[in-house]
Chain A
Amino acid sequence: MDKFGFTISEGRQIDYESNDRRIAEYIFDREPSFRLCIECGGCSATCTTGNFTDFSLRELNILIKRGENEQVREKLKKCMLCGKCNLVCPRGVNTRNIVVLAKKAFQKSDEYAI
Chain B
Amino acid sequence: MGKHVVVIGGGVAGLEVAGQLSKVGIQVSLIEKDSKTGGNLNKWYKLFPDRRKSSEVKEYLNGITANDGINLMTNTSIEMFNRHRDHFSIITSGGRELIADAIIVATGFDLFKSARKEEYGYGIYDNVITSADLEEMFSRGEISLINNTIPEKIGIIHCVGSRDEKVGNFYCSKLCCVTAVKQAIEIREFLPESKVFCFYMDMRMGGVFYEELYREAQEQWGVSFIRGKVSEVSETIDNQLLIKVEDTLAGRPLKMKFDLLVLMAGMEMSEGGRKIAGIGGLRTGENRFFAANDNHFGSNISNIEGVFYAGTCTAPMNITETISHARAAVIEVIDYLKDSN
Chain A positions near chain B (C-beta within 8 angstroms): 12-17, 28, 32-33, 35-36, 38-39, 58-59, 62-63, 65-66, 68, 91
Contact = CB atoms under 8 A, between A and B. Distances in A.
Contacts of A66: 247, 250, 254
Nearest to A91: B215
Task: Report the 6 A-B pairs with minimum CB-CB distance, sorted nearest first.
Answer: A16-B256, A14-B254, A13-B253, A62-B250, A35-B218, A39-B249
A32 to B, nearest CB: 7
A32 B222 CA distance: 9
27 contacts: A13-B252, A13-B253, A13-B254, A13-B255, A14-B250, A14-B252, A14-B253, A16-B254, A16-B255, A28-B222, A32-B219, A33-B219, A35-B218, A35-B219, A35-B222, A36-B215, A36-B218, A36-B219, A38-B225, A58-B249, A59-B250, A62-B247, A62-B249, A62-B250, A66-B250, A66-B254, A68-B250
Interface of B: 203, 215, 218-219, 222, 224-225, 227, 247, 249-250, 252-257
B218 to A, nearest CB: 5
A36 B219 CA distance: 6
Contacts of A39: 227, 249
A21 B215 CA distance: 23
A17 B219 contact: no
A54 B215 CA distance: 29
Nearest to A36: B218
A68 B247 CA distance: 13
Contacts of A17: 256-257
Contact of B250 (A28, A32, A38, A63): A63
Nearest to B247: A14
A58 B215 CA distance: 18
A62 B228 CA distance: 13
B235 to A, nearest CB: 15
Contacts of A33: 219
A2 to B, nearest CB: 31
A56 to B, nearest CB: 10
Given A59-B249, A66-B247, 12 more contacts: A12-B253, A14-B247, A14-B253, A14-B254, A16-B257, A17-B256, A32-B219, A36-B218, A39-B249, A62-B249, A65-B224, A91-B215
Contacts of A91: 215
B89 to A, nearest CB: 55
A16 B253 CA distance: 10
Contacts of A14: 247, 250, 252-255
Contacts of B215: 36, 91
A64 B249 CA distance: 12
